[in-house]
Amino acid sequence: MALISCPECGKHISDKAEKCVGCGFQIHKNHNHSQIVYHTENHQAGKANDSQGSSLLLWIVGVLIVGFAFVFFLYKTGNLGIKHDYPASVTQNFMNMCATNGGNQEICSCVLDKIQRKYTFEEFTVIEAKMSLGQQMPDEFLGFVAECKQRKNY
């Protein structure tokens, strides 16, 4: 059993039906073969378009996934060079905290720069909470301090 469109109202009905359930149009008396063929071809053309559309979509999704994976890899390995934005009050607070820990302006901004490249603000606030609590540099930041001191030959 195949579905055809009623030539009168366009409703999809069985080709075995004698008349349209929608409008009562006499199918078998009036329909001609070409209308059914036309309808079937139209249906297949629609299917072909659909599969073309979904393979294009798959392709786009694939490219996006590969792109994101690549950017994520660069980000995780620290090669992207993205400096995360922290609110000014937070960076100022860090600089003060760093100074009370005996760091000078140059070392402190060097460390802050490294932190901003490695940690998002959300990650930073978690580590910073430890810093406020213990009043000293968390281990996560001490490595940066060492790197900065080495670079500046202090």
Query: Should residue 71 be labelled a site residue for Zn ion when binding is judged by CB under 5 A?
Result: no
Query: Should residue 58 be labelled a site residue for Zn ion when binding is judged by CB under 5 A?
Result: no
Q: Residue 5 or residue 116: which is nearer to Zn ion going by CB?
A: 5
**Any idea what the Cα angle at residue 132 is, between residues 149 and 94, rounded to 5°?**
45
Kindly indicate which of the ranges 7-15, 64-72, 73-81, 132-140 contains the residues binding Zn ion, using the contact rule CB under 5 A.
Answer: 7-15
CB of 24 to Zn ion, least distance (A): 7
Q: Residue 25 or residue 86: which is nearer to Zn ion going by CB?
A: 25
For 121, the token pair is 């603000």
Which one of residues 2, 14, 16, 23 is an interface residue with Zn ion (CB under 5 A)? 23
Query: Should residue 53 be labelled a site residue for Zn ion when binding is judged by CB under 5 A?
Result: no
Total chain residues near Zn ion (CB under 5 A): 8
Q: Residue 2 or residue 74: which is nearer to Zn ion going by CB?
A: 2
Report the 3 state secondary structure along the chain.
CCEEECCCCCCEEECCCCECCCCCCEHHHHCCHHHHHHHHHHHHHHHHHHHHHHHHHHHHHHHHHHHHHHHHHHHHCCCCCCCCCCCHHHHHHHHHHHHHCCCCHHHHHHHHHHHHHHCCHHHHHHHHHHHHHHCCCCHHHHHHHHHHHHHHCC
Query: Should residue 6 be labelled a site residue for Zn ion when binding is judged by CB under 5 A?
Result: yes
Kindly indicate which of the ranges 22-30, 34-42, 45-53, 97-105 contains the residues binding Zn ion, using the contact rule CB under 5 A.
Answer: 22-30
Query: Should residue 20 be labelled a site residue for Zn ion when binding is judged by CB under 5 A?
Result: yes
**CA 10 – CA 93 distance, rounded (Å):** 72
Footprint of Zn ion (CB under 5 A): 6, 8-9, 11, 20, 22-23, 25
